[in-house]
């Protein structure tokens, strides 16, 4: 969503003087010598002799360990060289020496952004603003972080502050417009992109973003003009061709849309959406074979592209290739049982083949006999869950709730069905209702936490697991799940504490030992990681295929110790 500002390594001539503590006594001659190495490093930096510059800054630090400026400059080079952990350490040292350095907080915030420590970045930018409330850059960067955290209103407010300080901050207007797009304030977004273009009339992305906003308002002609300008200033901007094609399609200019999709594909042959939308345009031009070729390509690039299977089925239906159409609808349903269009279309194709039983198989004798019995829908929904007919289960629970809006278990089980279909937001809504009806339903909190986890709302998940544990302190799964959420937030000590609690409740729980091993692996603690991995194996953990692809082991996977332990138990 938000485009993180590109950090260019700039040779800074302004020296940030550290506030020396009285812990280390540095003589004037040492300070002078350290300053010499700093200036020497600066000179090498200006020549892009990065390793040599780092060596000089390191020498300056060795002579004067309280030299905040040397840490800062060395951190800048490490950042530029994408040594983010090294840069983070140097910035932190600079801040410890002198906590009032606005630029260092800003730089450390950027490193944390790259490391996806958004909350940490938020704290640093907030500190930069506290030190200098007139820092347009700090407000702008904090807005980027808030956007990454889906706090679009907060992003809008910070971009607004940046603009008040610097009315010519075109990037702040642009990013404020993007935030407004996310909350569907398209008119407000257009105003911001227009202001960006007043400041920089050659900003291709601002034209593109304004065109996108206009497209969403179905102002297709205006959108096309802006996409034209975006392409004028950046002829390789694939998305501009793609969305100009969508705008032309909206005006029923199918041939014009195809031309733009052709160009988008020429620039990026892996553009799945361009193939898919070109297929739509060809279908409307009754070029059915051409449409199938495009859907074939879209599916080749993305074998889980549900809508492409459905639409290819529609084209085959037009060509009276009913069995082939059914295969495509079946694949679409297999990938997403909630996609009702695929079910409907498959039913139509079966009807064309006179397979009426297949078309009406969702009906049941019990409901035909008495459609007013709540429990019939509820138990049929449960049975459909067991046979993985999730959409059918959802329909039955809908009916259960229609007849009895206070049926707690129906909301709970509908949440299970939605979760299994990866409709995590829908699952959360049902668990919310379950909890409203029964605030003591411990497992509902746990399951809501798991859905939040899948949406990467780790803090929200932890809150739900906390409530589960409060209601049922012996529910080991809640501790295990909370440990996973803490691990996702890099709270490794907290994660280990939770996994140990699982073991305390159930000493035979092999997964808990495995999870502890994973946490130590993430911390590159080889000995502890292998210790707990072996304990997991001893307790019966045997999912070796998962271990082979689990990214948690990437830090130590290639060590001989890990390989030996893995092979030892795999071959048992």
What SS3 class is residue 507? Answer: coil
Query: Looking at per-residue confidence, does 541 or 354 come out higher?
Result: 541
Mean pLDDT of 68-81: 95
What does the alpha-carbon distance between residue 81 and residue 61 come to, in Å, rounded to a whole number?
A: 20
Q: How many CB atoms within 10 Å of residue 316?
A: 23
pTM, to two decimals: 0.56
Using alpha carbons, select from 283, 302, 285 the residue that is nearest to residue 293: 283
pLDDT at 418: 96
Percent of the chain with pLDDT over 90: 82
**Contact yes or no for 476/509 (Cβ under 8 A):** yes
pLDDT category at 518 given cuts 50, 70, 90 is very high
pLDDT in tens, 121-135: 999 999 999 999 999
pLDDT higher than threshold 50 for residue 14? no
Mean pLDDT of 456-465: 96
Query: Looking at per-residue confidence, does 10 or 382 come out higher?
Result: 382
pLDDT in tens, 247-301: 999 999 999 999 999 999 999 999 999 999 999 999 999 999 999 999 999 999 9
pLDDT at 4: 34
Mean pLDDT of 150-165: 97
pLDDT at 444: 97
Mean pLDDT of 452-477: 96
pLDDT at 541: 94
| Contact partners, residue 227, CB within 8 Å, separation at least 6 | 207, 208, 211, 240, 241, 243, 244, 247
**Contact yes or no for 243/181 (Cβ under 8 A):** no
**Contact yes or no for 136/165 (Cβ under 8 A):** yes
| Contact partners, residue 281, CB within 8 Å, separation at least 6 | 245, 249, 254, 255, 257, 258, 261
pLDDT in tens, 333-389: 889 876 777 876 886 787 677 664 564 453 344 355 567 766 557 767 766 777 688
| Listed range (98-112, 386-400, 404-418, 517-531) with the worst mean pLDDT | 386-400
pLDDT higher than threshold 80 for residue 144? yes
pLDDT at 378: 73
The alpha carbon torsion through 362, 368, 372, 373 (nearest 10 deg) reads: -80
pLDDT higher than threshold 90 for residue 467? yes
By CB neighbour count within 10 A (0-12 exposed, 13-18 middle, 19+ buried), where does 255 fall?
Answer: exposed
pLDDT at 3: 30
Q: How far is CA 417 from CA 88, 299, 338, in A?
A: 44, 26, 10
By CB neighbour count within 10 A (0-12 exposed, 13-18 middle, 19+ buried), where does 97 fall?
Answer: buried
What does the alpha-carbon distance between residue 37 and residue 11 come to, in Å, rounded to a whole number?
A: 15
pLDDT category at 188 given cuts 50, 70, 90 is very high
| Contact partners, residue 451, CB within 8 Å, separation at least 6 | 415, 419, 424, 425, 427, 428, 431
**Contact yes or no for 421/393 (Cβ under 8 A):** no
Mean pLDDT of 453-472: 96
Mean pLDDT of 165-194: 96
The chain-wide mean pLDDT, for the chain, equals: 90
pLDDT at 23: 54
pLDDT at 379: 62
**Contact yes or no for 543/517 (Cβ under 8 A):** no
pLDDT at 383: 65
Using alpha carbons, select from 290, 277, 206 the residue that is nearest to residue 242: 277
**Contact yes or no for 140/160 (Cβ under 8 A):** no
The alpha carbon torsion through 201, 204, 205, 211 (nearest 10 deg) reads: 90
């Amino acid at each position: 969503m938000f485009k993180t500002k590109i950090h260019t390594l700039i040779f800074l001539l302004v020296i940030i003087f550290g506030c020396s503590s009285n812990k280390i006594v540095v003589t004037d001659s040492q300070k002078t010598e350290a300053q010499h190495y700093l200036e020497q490093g600066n000179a090498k930096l200006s020549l892009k002799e990065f390793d040599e510059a780092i060596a000089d800054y390191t020498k300056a630090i060795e002579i004067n360990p309280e030299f905040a400026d040397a840490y800062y400059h060395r951190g800048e080079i490490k950042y530029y060289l994408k040594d983010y952990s090294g840069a983070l350490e140097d910035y932190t040292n600079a801040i410890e020496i002198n906590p009032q350095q606005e630029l260092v907080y800003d730089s450390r915030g950027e490193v944390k952004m790259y490391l996806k420590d958004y909350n940490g970045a938020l704290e640093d930018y907030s500190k930069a603003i506290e030190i200098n409330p007139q820092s347009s850059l700090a407000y702008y960067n904090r807005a980027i972080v808030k956007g990454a955290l889906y706090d679009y209103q907060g992003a809008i407010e910070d971009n607004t502050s940046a603009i008040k300080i610097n009315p010519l901050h075109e990037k702040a207007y642009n990013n404020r417009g993007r935030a407004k797009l996310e909350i569907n304030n398209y008119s407000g977004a257009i105003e911001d992109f227009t202001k960006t273009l007043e400041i920089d009339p050659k900003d291709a992305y601002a034209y593109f973003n304004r065109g996108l906003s206009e497209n969403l308002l179905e102002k297709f002609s205006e959108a096309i003009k802006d996409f034209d300008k975006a392409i004028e200033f950046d002829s390789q901007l694939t998305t501009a061709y793609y969305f100009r094609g969508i705008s032309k399609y909206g005006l029923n200019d199918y041939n014009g849309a195809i031309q733009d999709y052709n160009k988008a594909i020429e620039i990026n042959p892996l553009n799945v959406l361009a193939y898919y939308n070109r297929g739509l345009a060809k279908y409307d031009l009754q070029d059915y074979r051409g449409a199938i070729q495009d859907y074939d390509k879209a599916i080749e690039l993305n074998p889980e592209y549900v809508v492409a299977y459905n639409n290819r089925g529609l084209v085959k239906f037009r060509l009276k290739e009913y069995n082939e159409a059914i295969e495509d609808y079946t694949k679409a349903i297999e990938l997403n049982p909630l996609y009702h269009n695929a079910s409907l279309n498959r039913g139509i194709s079966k009807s064309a083949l006179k397979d009426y039983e297949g078309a009406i198989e969702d009906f049941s004798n019990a409901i035909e006999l008495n459609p007013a019995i709540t429990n019939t829908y509820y138990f049929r929904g449960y049975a459909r869950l067991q046979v993985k007919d999730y959409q059918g289960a959802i329909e039955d629970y809908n009916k259960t709730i229609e007849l009895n809006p206070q049926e707690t278990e129906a909301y709970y089980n509908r949440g299970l069905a939605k979760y299994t279909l990866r409709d995590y937001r829908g699952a959360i809504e049902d668990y919310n209702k379950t909890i409203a009806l029964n605030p003591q339903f411990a497992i509902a909190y746990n399951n809501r936490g798991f859905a939040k986890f899948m949406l990467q709302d780790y803090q929200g998940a932890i809150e739900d697991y906390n409530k589960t544990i409060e209601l049922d302190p012996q529910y080991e799964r809640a501790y295990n799940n909370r440990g996973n959420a803490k691990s996702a937030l890099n709270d490794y000590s907290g994660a280990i504490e939770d996994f140990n609690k699982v073991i305390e409740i159930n000493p035979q729980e092999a997964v808990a030992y495995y999870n502890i091993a994973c946490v130590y692996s993430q911390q590159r603690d080889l000995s502890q990681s292998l210790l707990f991995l072996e304990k997991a194996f001893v307790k019966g953990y045997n999912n070796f295929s998962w271990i082979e692809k689990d990214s948690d082991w990437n830090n130590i996977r290639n060590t001989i110790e890990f390989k030996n332990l893995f092979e030892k138990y795999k071959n048992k």
